């Protein structure tokens, strides 16, 4: 029994070796070559050209979530290009740029104009900016104080003697040298702000050592032309803008 069994076993082995295919070099090569199709296309540079004809809907970035075979592909924009000739296109472009420029300029002008109109003074404020005074009611040798833009304004109807006194003075000796003729338009009318140039008090008229105004706050003396003569005030009393539209009319502002 034993020799028969051994003979059968060896026969079976021989048959098995003969029947199974031997691993060959060709098979190994075919396994190496069978890499993914997309890699093979990239390597050969024939992607899409031979096996896939591009259409106007092809995207270089892949479709349906599938990565593109060749990301170097440039999309075809041919369907968006103008069919008109070049000069027609240029005229249209110039027209559009010019129109947009005009619209922008008009909008900017309207914005700036609105801003300036809003910021400018209203009519009632402008009306307050000027004050008209009837000079016929002010006798010679008298002072009148009026309010202009929230400040007191002194109006002095000077006498002949006061005018002479104001003119006959050595201007160089003054702290703030100013001739009387530089401070008045008509010698008989002296118009100036009633605000002390030291710290802003309101001086008292017909007082002080020089027959003009005296500031009681710190003792500044002004003469009959409103020039500082004594005390801490550094400057003469300020003369505002004014005019005489008629003989007996004064407009301040
Ligand atoms: S405020 Fe007039 S002297 Fe000082």
Cα distance between the two ends of the chain = 146
The torsion of the CA quartet 222, 226, 227, 230, rounded to 10 degrees, works out to 10
pLDDT at 218: 95
Both tokens of residue 72? 């170097």
Single out the residue of 204, 238, 240 nearest to residue 221, CA to CA: 204
Q: Quote the CA–CA distance of 130 and 151 in Å, as a whole number.
A: 12
Both tokens of residue 136? 């016929």
Nearest ligand 1 atom to the CA of 199 is 1
pLDDT at 126: 73
Q: 117, 234 in Cβ contact below 8 A?
A: no
Could you tell me if the CB of 217 is within 6 A of ligand 1? yes
pLDDT at 50: 41
Q: Quote the CA–CA distance of 105 and 107 in Å, as a whole number.
A: 5
Q: Quote the CA–CA distance of 234 and 221 in Å, as a whole number.
A: 11
Q: Strand ranges (DSSP E) for the chain?
A: 131-134, 143-148, 151-157, 189-193, 204-205, 211-215, 220-223, 228-230, 242-246, 249-252
Domains in the chain, ordered, with CATH?
A: 131-252 (2.102.10.10)
Could you tell me if the CB of 196 is within 6 A of ligand 1? yes
pLDDT at 229: 95
Query: Measuring CA to CA, how many Å separate 188 from each of 35, 140, 227, 239?
Result: 115, 8, 16, 15
Q: 191, 242 in Cβ contact below 8 A?
A: yes
pLDDT along the chain (253 residues), means of 10: 53 54 43 43 42 54 60 81 85 95 97 91 77 92 92 95 93 94 95 95 93 94 95 96 92 91
Q: Quote the CA–CA distance of 185 and 167 in Å, as a whole number.
A: 14
Ligand 1: centre distance to CA 203 (Å): 8
In DSSP terms, 157 is beta-bridged to: 189
DSSP state of 129: H
Could you tell me if the CB of 197 is within 6 A of ligand 1? no
pLDDT at 239: 96
Asked about 198 being catalytic, the answer comes back as no
Residue nearest to atom 4 of ligand 1 (CA): 218
């Amino acid at each position: 029994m034993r020799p028969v069994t051994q003979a059968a076993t060896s026969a079976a082995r021989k048959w098995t070796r003969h029947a199974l295919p031997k691993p060959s070099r060709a098979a190994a090569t075919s396994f190496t070559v069978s890499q993914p199709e997309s890699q093979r296309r990239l390597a050969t540079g024939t992607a899409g050209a031979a096996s896939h004809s591009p259409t106007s809907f092809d995207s270089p970035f892949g479709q349906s979530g599938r990565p593109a075979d060749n990301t170097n592909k440039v999309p075809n924009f041919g369907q968006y290009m103008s069919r008109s000739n070049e000069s027609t296109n240029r005229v249209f472009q110039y027209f559009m740029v010019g129109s947009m420029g005009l619209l922008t300029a008009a909008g900017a002008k309207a914005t700036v104009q609105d801003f300036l109109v809003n910021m400018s003074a209203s009519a009632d404020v402008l009306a307050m900016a000027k004050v008209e005074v009837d000079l016929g009611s002010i006798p010679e040798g008298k002072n009148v104080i009026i309010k202009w833009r929230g400040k007191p304004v002194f109006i002095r109807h000077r006498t002949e003697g006061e005018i002479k006194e104001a003119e006959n003075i050595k201007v160089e000796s003054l702290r703030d040298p100013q001739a009387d003729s530089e401070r008045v338009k008509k010698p008989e009318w002296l118009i100036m702000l009633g605000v002390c140039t030291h710290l802003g008090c309101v001086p008292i008229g017909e007082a002080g050592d020089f027959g003009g105004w005296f500031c009681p706050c710190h003792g500044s003396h002004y003469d009959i032309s409103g020039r500082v003569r004594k005390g801490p005030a550094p400057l003469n009393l300020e003369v505002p803008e004014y005019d005489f539209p008629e003989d007996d009319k004064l407009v301040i502002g």
